[in-house]
Every structure is written in C-alpha cells, then in structure tokens.
A and B are shown apart, each in its own frame.
Chain A
Amino acid sequence: MSGSEHATPEPPTPEGHGPGEHGSGEHHPFQAHHWDTMRQQFEAGKLGMWLFLATEVLLFGGLFCAYFIYRSNNPELFEYGHNALNKWLGAGNTIVLLVSSLTMALGVRAAQVGETKKLRILLALTFVCGCGFMSIKYIEYSEKIGHGYLLGSKFDYEKVKEHEREAREAEAHTGGHETEVFAAANIPAYVPAEKSAFVDAPRGPSGIAPIAEEVKPGHGAEDGAHGGPGVLPSEGRPRNAHIFFSIYFMMTGLHGIHVLIGMAVIAWLFVTSRDNRFGPSYFAPVEIGGLYWHLVDLIWIYLFPLLYLI
C-alpha cells in the first residue's frame, strides 16, 4: 500500500513508442510504455498520490468524527483524559516530526537537482526522525499501559485508581506543586468496592453485556453527574473514562502505523537511490513518497493539540 508503489518504474518496452515521438525519441529508462512523456507520467503519479492522501484524510476522519462527537457530548472525558497524557512527550514528538518533514522536503530538493549523496543523507535523517518518533511513542505507551490506561475493556480501573492515589499523595508531599499527570486536585479517596468496568460484568442470556458498572453514577455523584455536561462526578474520574483512552490509542495507533509505513517507503527510497537513478528528469518516487510522509506530519499537527493540550 505504499503510495509510491505505482510510481515503480517498469522496464521500457521497445515497441511502446507512440508515433508522435521525436526522431531521437529515446524513452527515459523509467518511463512506462503507456505514457507519452515523463511529464505526463510524473503528473499522473502525483495526482494519484494526492487522491490517495484524500482517502487517508477521510480514513482518519472517522476517528476525528468520533473524537468531536464524544468531546461535544462528554467534555469531562477529555478534560480528565488530557491531564493524564504527558504533553511534553507529545510536544517532543511534534518537533521530531516537523524536523523530519524538513529533511524530507530537502531530500526531494536534493533528488530534483540530482545530488544523490545529499539525498541519501537526508533520507537517512528522516528515517532516524521516524525512529525517534516511534521511540517517544513507545515510552509514552508503556507509561500509560503500566498505569492501566488502556483502551476499552482493557482499561484497568484498579491500576488507574492506584496510580491516581499515588499521584495525589505525591502532590500532597510536594505541597501543591502542580504535577503534569494530574492537575485535578479533588481526586477523592480510593473506593475499593468499585469493580472494574467490564471484567466482572455479567452477560445477559442474549449474550449482550448489561450496562457496565462504571456507567452507573456513584452514590455521591448522582446529582453532580446529572448536572449537565462538563460536571465531573465527585470522585474525580468521569464515567466511561475508557472511551477517551479508546480514542487516544486508536488515533495515535493508526497514526503510528502510518509512520511505520512511511518509514518503510523512506527505507525503500534509500535503497533504490544508491544507483544514482534520481535526478532532474526522474525524481517522482521521492516526491511522491515525500507527500505521504508530509501527510503523516499533517495529521499529527491536528492530533497533538486535540489530544494533549485541550
């Protein structure tokens, strides 16, 4: 599915000349037989990639739609959730991706002017930035998972409560110092009777799980929870907290998969560029692979503030 796949050169076929060609009409070695000119082939490849990017925008769009729907209906989920994320790791990821976008853009330039050595260095740098992004993502994910913040029914309420209690205690010790993890000061005492949402939920005869425990408002929260959107139940964690982490993991996870695909494309470009094939008349794969990489950057530009900052 690598976007630049369709720009893969085909061996020129000897009988593929259109009659309108010049007498000297030697085909470029990377011109496929059904194109009249390199320009036509190049522009078609780019148009195809832009169309593919449009499909990517709409693919992510479904998750963005889920995000906005749940944000508008349950703002307290996002208020709670973004405080549990580490915005500095998110910002670090943003910077790494932005830098990689520059190196990629410069790589395209190097390909355009035929500086193969420079191109390969820049591709390698872009790849390294991709590795950096994934490493930060790994640190972030393992921290979240370690504290029980996971998606859906894997969200571990016991662990999360434990973590929240520790965070609260740490905050008390440092005397009101604002921790990054928990800004909320009113996290109540740990209530051991409360069960994890799904693990113990009995199944009805039809195989449909009844409304999970966590959905029921707590005793003290009965009034608060009804008070309208934005009101945190008194225990500090809104019900259905797992939904935020579902959205968070699915959005960043799908994005991470795209980063990996982009890195594979870049690695492929790095390998193929060793024979000096890219130059002023043929750089379409670099340009088109670059477009894909920039789109990955573009999506992260929206993900970062939506998930980490607000």
Chain B
Amino acid sequence: MNAPETGTAAAPIVEAPPTPHHYLNHSKGFLSWALTLDHKRIGVMYLVGILGCFGLGGVFALLVRTELWSPGPTITSDPNMYNMWFTVHGAVMVFLVIIPGVPAALGNFVLPIMLGAKDVAFPKLNLGSFYLWVGGAIFFILTLLMGGVDSGWTFYTPYSAVTKTAVIPAVTGVFLLGFSSIFTGLNFIVTIHKLRPSGMTWFKMPLFLWSSYATAVIQVLATPVIGITLLLLIMERTLHVGIFTPAYGGDPVLFQHFFWFYSHPAVYIMILPAMGIVSELISVHSHKRPFGYKFIAFSSVAIAMFGFLVWGHHMFTSTQSPAMNAIFSAITFSVSIPSAIKVFNWLATMWGGSIRLTVPMLYGVSFIFLFSIGGLTGLHLGTLSTDIHFHDTYFVVAHFHYVMMGSALIGMFGGLHHWWPKLTGRMFDHTQGVIAWAFIFVGFNVTFFTQFILGSQGMPRRYYDYLPRFEIYHKISTIGSYLMAAGFLVMAYYLLHSIFAGKQAPSNPWGANSLEWHCTSPPPHDNFKSPPPIDDCYDYGGVDYDPRTGQYSSRADQPAASS
C-alpha cells in the first residue's frame, strides 16, 4: 500500500546521476526566474503565490470562525470588521486561489509535458498572465491596506456602489486576475490544438487535458463579461452612470445577471480542472484504465456548456421573474447528469483495480465523497421551493464549501501531491501526509456538515451575531476549522521538509504511464530530448513494479532507466 514511499530497502536510486540537469538548476539568479519563459518555472511561481494566498485567505477564514465561537462580540466588537473578514476571505480564495489554482499552477507545469511539447504555445503571454496575477494580488493587498472591503465577494450593487470601503482597488484586482485567467485559457486551447503531437488524437489525450480544455473554453468566453461588469461598477461608483444602481436610475438585478453570467461558469472553472486531476488520480492509483473514457471526456465539455445556461439559479430570490426561475431551475437539474456520469465512472474505474491508498489517492477518494455531498445538496438549492427557505443561509455556505473547498481545493491538493515528486524531484513523507489528510478530511466535515444543519434551522449567512440556540453548532464548526488548519500546517511542514531533506524521487513513483512520467523528476529544461513515443497513456501493462527498488519502471524507458 505504501510501497512507493517507504519500500526503499536501502536501494540506491538508479536513474539519478549525481547532479542531473533539470529545469530547477538550468540557470540561476533572480532574473532567470522573474523573466523565465519556461512553463515549469512559471507554474512553480504561480504555485508559490497561490499557496501563499491560500494561507492569507485561510487566516481570514479562521478569524471569521473564531468570531463566531460565541454570540455577540468574541474577538472584535465591530461588526463591520467581521464583514471585511468574510469578504476578503471569499474574494482571495475565489479569485486568487481557486480559479488560477489548478490551471495556472499545476496545469502550467503539467499540460505541455503531458502533450510531449517543449512549452505552451505562447510562453511570453504565459509570463504576462503570471504578472497580471501578481498585479491582481498587489491590488488585493492594497485593498487590505486601505481598510478592506465589505461588500461580499460578489460586489452586489447597490451596496457596492455606495459603500465607503475600498471597492475600487479590489475590483481592479479582480479585473486583472480575470485577464490573467483569460490568457492562461487562451494559451491552453492553442497549445492543445497546435502542439498536440500527431500520434495523440483527441481521444488519446489524458483526461486532465480534456477538462483543462473545457475549462479554458469557459475562461475565454465567460471571463470578459466579468471584466466589463467590474469596469461598469467602477464607473457606477465614480461617475454614477446609472446602469446598476436604482438611485441613479439603474437596475440592480441586471448587475446580478452580469455578475453570474461569469461567476457561475467560474464555478466550473474551479471544479472542472479538479475533476480532471481526480480522473488521473483514480486511474493511476487504481492501476486501471478509466472506465468510460469518452463519457468522462464529454461530460467535461457538457458541464462547461451547461455552465453557461444556469446562472439564474443564484437569483431565485432577487425579483428575477418566475418564468426565468423555472427555466434556470430546470437547466440546473440537467447539470447533475454529466456530474453523476463522472462520479459513477470514477467508482467503476476503482472497481476491481489494484488500489493503492497513497496520499494523492486519499485526496482523490475524498473528492468523490465530498463532491457527492456538495453536488446532491445543490439539488435542494436548485429546487425553487426549497431554495426560498435555504437561500442566504448556512446551508448555501456549506454547499459551496463542499464544492469549492471539499472538491476543487481537495482535488488541487491531490494533484499537488501527485505531481510533487515531478515538480521538486523529492518524495514527501507518506505517514505525515496521511496524518495531514486525516486532519483536513475530518476537520472539513466537522466544519461544514454542521453548517448544513445550521442553515436548515435558519441561521442566515454573513451574520456577525446569532441566537444562542445556534451556539453549539457554531462551536463545533469552529473546532473543525482549527482541525483543518492543523492539517494544513502539517502539510506545509512535510512538503517544505521534503524539498530540503526528502528522498530523491524516481521518474515514475506512482506507476503511471502518461507522458509526464516518462521524463526525469524534475523534468529537464526542454522536457524531452526527443519527441517521446505516443502510446496509450492509460495502459498500465507496460509499467512494472520492482519490489527490490520499490519503484516503478516503464518498459518503454527501460534502457534509460537501468543504465
């Protein structure tokens, strides 16, 4: 079960020459990173930034949970301070962490190598989009320095048009992040179209590439609309143009249409890449070909397309017309079809496979469990009658945390552990990984399952104070959040520790067969010396486990591996 990590048996790492040349030591100095066009380095820079922002967003989450420990003032007596905390938590997590998380960090690193390509299609654009992300992050920090923003991450008008807090820097930051996301998506579409080797047909691509492609389509088509929406909001605040604010003659429901036309598809920008990762994780760590490859592939595309047609389900109680409510509710239910196809195919993939509960696999399996809860509770919210009751309660908070964190971020951390040996060339400690996972998984469910109960009993979201009868649930939820924080601290420790003291990673620690496992860990600067042979990336017949070294070797790479 844990052979790849602990079964060293003092065997030397055969394929590692003393100082192998790879992308990390290809060149040195600050500028060699700051001006790099190498997709791997850009991916690593994204990863560092995104994980840093995850820490920042996490701190605000802990502040929110701590404040809710008891009714009335707990750590702040200023309710507006509480408003800023949850707004900053939401905005940082959504725009700076989850949306760029998988595509820009892990995707940038893995996608070209999976294609056997030397780089993404437009390396300069890739670097440019990284700096747009940095610009967005700087504007967020500026927002914090200017006293924060309290409109909620959704920036709903009319409040966002009149609040005295720093809406404009926050919105400018989101605008820049939007363009960063657009350019990443654009790059990926062109890369998959034009740098896919001739032997790799669409249906020979790893499933991660299918979901990345579907994600990129959403990024390109939906994100410009949030761009113009936020520009209009800035105009509304500064010049009172009268599009979104009733006081100036505008229509606030229109803002919600604008906002959700992007932000609902954005939910799929967050979840689809994680689903792609899970498709890889389940197959690789079960050592079994994905069940229903084409169904998983097409369901990604179907989710992307349906995603554009359901935005109104965020607006059931916003005076949206009954006719539109009915239409959006009906289409919302149909999204459950491709989602369920994925879940059942993952389960069928595991069935009869030789499952290894490695740390990435633990996250993969958690994803299926948590996503099922998140998805099924979505049906309660997509139903018009029940949504009237649940709208703006902790039920919604729990639902989208099961999807955003329990699925999208858990999937991202699964991918991080899966590709960590490839990224850094080091193995992390399996036992500590399992401990961290256990804390996070248990803590997550303690935190958020309680909130389903809270919400169904009528606790509204975003409230600073609450009735005493909710106190016990809030206390449980807060304890859960501390458990999660402990888990992430352990994770940070062993991942950082592995960089400096971890074992050398073999080129194929999990026994996978897609192209990124055919180059060394970490990959060389050019990824592949010569274009790699394209074979079936889910054919595990040619990958052998060597009990003596505790490692996998691919027969195709045999001459190189045993030299």
Contact = CB atoms under 8 A, between A and B. Distances in A.
A33 B235 contact: no
Most buried by A among B235, B236, B243: B243
B35 to A, nearest CB: 13
Contacts of B55: none
Interface in A177-205: 198, 201
A65 B242 contact: no
28 contacts: A5-B124, A6-B125, A10-B37, A44-B122, A47-B189, A47-B194, A48-B122, A51-B189, A51-B190, A58-B224, A60-B228, A62-B224, A73-B251, A151-B239, A151-B241, A153-B239, A198-B240, A208-B247, A210-B247, A242-B241, A243-B241, A243-B242, A243-B250, A246-B235, A246-B241, A246-B243, A247-B243, A254-B231
Interface string B521-559: 000001000110000000000000000000000000000
A27 interface: no
A212 B242 CA distance: 11
Given A43-B194, A47-B194, A207-B164, A34 B249 contact: no
Contacts of B231: 254
Given A34-B118, A48-B125, 19 more contacts: A6-B122, A8-B124, A10-B37, A16-B526, A44-B190, A55-B182, A58-B221, A59-B225, A62-B224, A62-B227, A62-B229, A66-B243, A69-B254, A207-B163, A208-B158, A211-B246, A243-B241, A246-B235, A250-B235
A95 interface: no
- Which 4 interchain pairs have the tightest Cβ spacing? A62-B228, A246-B241, A240-B249, A152-B239
B224 A34 contact: no
Interface in B432-464: none
A168 interface: no
B254 A66 contact: yes
Main secondary structure of the interface of A (DSSP, over half): helix
B122 A55 contact: no
Interface string B10-44: 00000000000000000000000000010000000
Given A58-B221, A62-B232, A207-B163, A243 B118 contact: no
A254 B241 CA distance: 15
B226 to A, nearest CB: 9
Contacts of A5: 124-125, 128
Interface of B: 37, 117-119, 121-125, 128, 158, 162-164, 179, 182, 186-187, 189-190, 193-195, 220-225, 227-229, 231-232, 235-236, 239-243, 246-251, 254, 257-258, 526, 530-531
B248 A54 contact: no
A250 B247 contact: no
A154 B239 contact: yes
B258 A152 contact: no
Nearest to B179: A1
Interface in A29-64: 32-34, 40, 43-44, 47-48, 51-52, 54-63
Nearest to A77: B249
A214 B162 CA distance: 19
Residue from B179, B228, B248 having most chain A Cβ neighbours under 10 A? B248
A220 interface: no
A20 interface: yes
A254 B227 CA distance: 12
B232 A66 contact: yes
Interface bracket on A: 35 or more
Contact of A152 (B164, B222, B241, B531): B241
Contacts of B122: 6, 44, 48
Contacts of B224: 55-59, 61-62
B249 A215 contact: yes
A280 interface: no
Contact of B530 (A19, A47, A211, A243): A19
B248 A239 contact: no
Contacts of B254: 66, 69
B119 A34 contact: yes
A25 to B, nearest CB: 14
Contacts, number: 148
A208 B237 CA distance: 11
A206 B229 CA distance: 24
Contact of A212 (B164, B195, B227, B247): B247
A247 B235 CA distance: 11
Contacts of B121: 6, 44, 48
Contacts of A212: 247-249
A18 interface: yes
Contact of B531 (A20, A33, A48, A60): A20
Contacts of A215: 249
- Binding site secondary structure of chain B: helix
A198 B161 CA distance: 15
A58 B225 CA distance: 6
A128 interface: no
A242 B531 contact: no
A57 to B, nearest CB: 8
A16 B164 CA distance: 55
A209 interface: yes
A246 to B, nearest CB: 4
Nearest to A208: B162
Given A55-B220, A243-B241, A47 B190 contact: yes
A292 to B, nearest CB: 14
A250 B249 contact: no
A18 B246 contact: no
Nearest to A57: B224
A157 to B, nearest CB: 13
Nearest to B242: A243
Given A209-B247, A243-B249, A40 B531 contact: no
> Max chain A CB contacts within 10 Å: which of B240, B250, B531?
B240
Contacts of A40: 194-195
B127 to A, nearest CB: 11
Interface string A158-177: 00000000000000000000
Central interface residue in A210, A242, A246, by most chain B CB within 10 Å: A246
Given A51-B190, A66-B243, A209-B162, A153 B258 contact: no
A215 B307 CA distance: 37
Contact of B223 (A55, A207, A246): A55
Contacts of B195: 34, 40, 44
B428 to A, nearest CB: 31
B123 A65 contact: no
A153 B243 contact: no
Contact of A51 (B220, B240, B247): B220
A242 B220 contact: no
Interface in A225-258: 239-240, 242-243, 246-247, 250, 254
